[in-house]
Amino acid sequence: MPTYKALAIAGDHGLDLVEISPTANPPVCKIMDYGRYKYEQTKKKQEAKKKSTTFQLKEIKVRPKTGEHDLQTKIGHIKKFIGRGDKVKVTVMFRGREITLTDKAREVLQRIAEETAEIAAIEQMPKFEGRTMIMVLAPR
Low-confidence ranges of the chain (pLDDT < 50): none
Q: Are 65 and 104 in contact (CB under 8 A)?
A: yes
CA gap 127, 81 in Å, rounded? 22
CATH of the domain at 131: 3.30.110.10
Provide the pLDDT for residue 111.
93
Provide the pLDDT for residue 92.
95
Rounded to two decimals, what is the model's pTM?
A: 0.62
Pairing of strands 28-32, 57-62: unpaired
CATH of the domain at 17: 3.10.20.80
Same domain, 88 and 104: yes
Tens-place pLDDT, residues 35-52: 998 999 999 999 888 877
For residue 21, give the amino acid letter. S
Same domain, 68 and 24: no
Q: Are 94 and 125 in contact (CB under 8 A)?
A: no
Provide the pLDDT for residue 138.
93
Tens-place pLDDT, residues 68-87: 999 999 999 999 999 988 99
Q: How many other C-beta atoms are found inside a 10 Å radius of the C-beta of residue 108?
A: 23
As for how many domains the chain has, the answer is 2
Consecutive H or E run containing 58? strand 57-62
Domain span holding position 90: 57-139
Same domain, 75 and 23: no
Provide the pLDDT for residue 50.
82
